[in-house]
Structure 1
Amino acid sequence: MATDVRLKEELPAITDQLVETYTECSRLNHLAHEPLPNRDAVADIVADLFEVLYPGYGKRQNLHIGNIGYYVGSLVDSLHDKLTTQIARALRHELCHERDSAVSAPVPEPWESPSEDKPHTDCEKIAQPKAVELLRRLADVRKTLELDVEAAFRGDPAARSHHEIIFCYPGLEAITIYRVAHELYGLGVPFIPRMMTEFAHAKTGIDIHPGATIGPGFFIDHGTGVVIGETCHIGRGVKLYQGVTLGALSFTKDDDGGLLHGNYKRHPTLEDGVIVYANATILGGQTVVGTRAVVGSNVWLTESVPPDTTVVLEKPKLRLKGAKPNTEPLTYEI
């Protein structure tokens, strides 16, 4: 440890400078009494959800039909408490501190709407039914995930088994977290759905907004760099490769020239059976890629494509140059 006491004497001044910024840059701090959702707690919820959705693949093994009910029951009971606490924190912050700037969550029901004359809303009472409803939907989520796993197995000749896909494929991990987060998003839970999908984004490189609508049998091959925007609609049996962007072409602005926030349709629609190859970019809320269409690598697409259509770039010319001693370089055009 450094021993120059003179340098340590600067620390109070540094602290004062930082504290001053907490007033000047107030958007960068949360200095209220109501706690925000806890990142570690939400990550713990995600881990428990994986245990419920894929029992025997994670922390607890040696599970069988005789003890699975007890194990899952204990997880569900724990998830109820954890979800209720974190959802209540998210709702409390949304209701009390961001009444006029909530931009990512769906419009709440009238009885949930923030109001100046309801400063003491019982957020736990609102959060608990949402937590229970999410847990109620997990059985259906598992049925959809089984179709996603099967799509990966059918769509990737390198896959040796369904077990390998569940253990190893980052695309399935991102899709799994998205499917749970999407349910929370639909229940009007702020912050937590996006926190979940950003955990997946950081780990897998796959960025799926929880507001996107994605049908069953969805497969992301390799995955790194895939971006799926909030208002995307993706049908059944769609396959994406790495680097695909399903984004917005332009943004609506308000009267002052600022971006209009909200979930108006900004991102494309991919109908059933579409395949999009690596590094393709598809933009725009009015862009519809028709059923069973194929979009080739590196395509930039901002207009709709009819069903059963293949979209590719014109074949580029490649030049291979080689040189031999005392000769001119040889050029080959392909």
Structure 2
Amino acid sequence: MSNVPSHHWGLEPIVAALRASREELHRTRHPRGIRELPSREAVANIINGLRAALFPTHFGAPGLTDETVDYYVGHTLESTLRLLAEQIRRALRFLPEHADTPETELREHAYAIASEFGRQLPDIRALLVSDIQAAFAGDPAAQHITEILLCYPGICAMTHHRMAHALYRLGVPLLARVINEIAHSGTGIDIHPGAQIGPSFFIDHGTGVVIGETAIIGERVRVYQAVTLGAKSFAADIDGSLVKGNARHPLVEDDVVIYAGATILGRVTIGRGSVIGGNVWLTHSVPPGSSVSQGKVREGERADAVSSRVQP
């Protein structure tokens, strides 16, 4: 006979109260009652499969040879793209234009998107290699490419972002957001999938970096930890709801360096070749070749009243 005491949890009123919360008081369900949601776990597995297909010697099966690697990549892509198509199908149902799309048509559309995404993988890999090379060139502590691929959080975040951005452009924003939020959770780097980022992008250290939805970043840009490319304000409609989709984040031109803790807000342009110093707060455009640093605090002057110094 068991010595474990018997407990009565009184679950009936708890279950009833939770049902009332779900169905009446604090509803969180989609207005159309969609229950088949994208799976975060499945998306994580998809990203792992795609990463293995892109860099099989680093993330693929052990013991791959020149004779077996292509078979491995093809087999991995076949299974991974099928999983991706299913998650795309689930995500498409959340778009208003697909509210009443027949299931067969929605499934075919999802497979078409997954197929197009697959065709883009060589270009995505090329962009990622440019990011890896930028990290190797920009970090004197980097010993070799393998270290960067396996260890650098900025490369992990950009791997997710390059894939998520492709899906965002293919019309699957919910799935794209899930992909980038997985990277955000693991690296502390928050990049919206809508952000447009050119080749050879290097995030050094990375923790706390935030890049907003409508940011546009050129080529060979380098940013450090805790950099924010954010919005200065949010337009609202007549009933106070935020207007979605407005261009509200910075434009960063080619060859810009943004040091740790800098905050750049609004639809401003950081001119080509500029250097933005650490902890700068910037809400206006600067011309190409600018050097922006914190203003020095003179005796008796409040720190928060001192503007940044811009030297073209």
Q: Same fold (TM over 0.5)?
A: yes
Deviates more, 1:77-86 or 1:19-28: 19-28
Matches within 5 A, 1:69-148: 69-92=70-93, 94-95=94-95, 99=96, 113-114=97-98, 118=101, 122-148=105-131
In the TM superposition, structure 1's runs of 4+ consecutive aligned residues that sit over 6 Å from their partners are: none
Partners of 1:119 and 1:137 in 2: CA distance: 27
Tell me if the contact between 1:149 and 1:217 (Cα under 8 Å) persists in the aligned partners.
Answer: yes
2:227 corresponding residue in structure 1: 244
Distance 1:317 1:51, change over 3 A: farther
Matches within 5 A, 1:127-276: 127-261=110-244, 263-276=245-258
Distance 1:77 1:47, change over 3 A: same
Deviations 1:106-133, CA, capped at 9 Å, x for gaps: xxxxxxx3466x5656211110010011
Task: Using structure 2 for the length normalisation, give the TM-score.
Answer: 0.90
1:66 corresponding residue in structure 2: 67
Partners of 2:59 and 2:21 in 1: CA distance: 44
Tell me if the contact between 2:53 and 2:60 (Cα under 8 Å) persists in the aligned partners.
Answer: no
Partners of 1:132 and 1:69 in 2: CA distance: 19
Distance 1:255 1:31, change over 3 A: closer
**What is the CA distance between 1:302 and its match in structure 2?**
0.3
1:297 corresponding residue in structure 2: 278
User: Identity of counterpart residues, as a percentage?
Assistant: 46
Partners of 1:152 and 1:233 in 2: CA distance: 20
Tell me if the contact between 2:92 and 2:98 (Cα under 8 Å) persists in the aligned partners.
Answer: no
Is there any run of 5+ residues in structure 2 with no aligned partner, and where?
A: 300-312
Distance 1:233 1:37, change over 3 A: same
1:322 corresponding residue in structure 2: none
**Residue 280 (structure 1) aligned to one of 262, 270, 288:** 262
Partners of 2:125 and 2:272 in 1: CA distance: 26
Partners of 1:114 and 1:144 in 2: CA distance: 32
Distance 1:2 1:122, change over 3 A: farther
1:21 corresponding residue in structure 2: 21
Matches within 5 A, 1:317-332: none
Residue aligned with 2:59, SS: coil
Is there any run of 5+ residues in structure 1 with no aligned partner, and where?
A: 100-112, 319-334
**What is the CA distance between 1:141 and its match in structure 2?**
0.8
The code of the aligned residue for 2:198 comes to G
The code of the aligned residue for 1:308 comes to G
Partners of 1:296 and 1:80 in 2: CA distance: 43
Deviates more, 1:275-284 or 1:46-55: 46-55
Distance 1:265 1:121, change over 3 A: farther
Residue aligned with 2:42, SS: helix
The code of the aligned residue for 2:14 comes to I
Distance 1:84 1:192, change over 3 A: same
Matches within 5 A, 1:307-322: 307-315=288-296
Task: Using structure 1 for the length normalisation, give the TM-score.
Answer: 0.84
Partners of 1:146 and 1:82 in 2: CA distance: 25
The code of the aligned residue for 1:195 comes to V
The code of the aligned residue for 1:271 comes to E
2:308 corresponding residue in structure 1: none
CA RMSD across the alignment:
2.0
Partners of 2:243 and 2:30 in 1: CA distance: 24
Distance 1:115 1:198, change over 3 A: closer
Deviates more, 1:135-144 or 1:23-32: 23-32
Partners of 1:45 and 1:64 in 2: CA distance: 23
1:323 corresponding residue in structure 2: none
Tell me if the contact between 1:22 and 1:29 (Cα under 8 Å) persists in the aligned partners.
Answer: no
Partners of 2:131 and 2:212 in 1: CA distance: 19
Whether 1:306 aligns to 2:269 is no
Deviations 1:200-231, CA, capped at 9 Å, x for gaps: 00000000000000000000000000000000
Deviates more, 1:80-89 or 1:27-36: 27-36
Whether 1:50 aligns to 2:51 is yes
Instruction: Report how many residues are paired.
Output: 296
The code of the aligned residue for 1:236 comes to E
Residue aligned with 2:226, SS: coil
Tell me if the contact between 1:89 and 1:123 (Cα under 8 Å) persists in the aligned partners.
Answer: no
Deviations 1:137-172, CA, capped at 9 Å, x for gaps: 000111111111110011000101111101100000
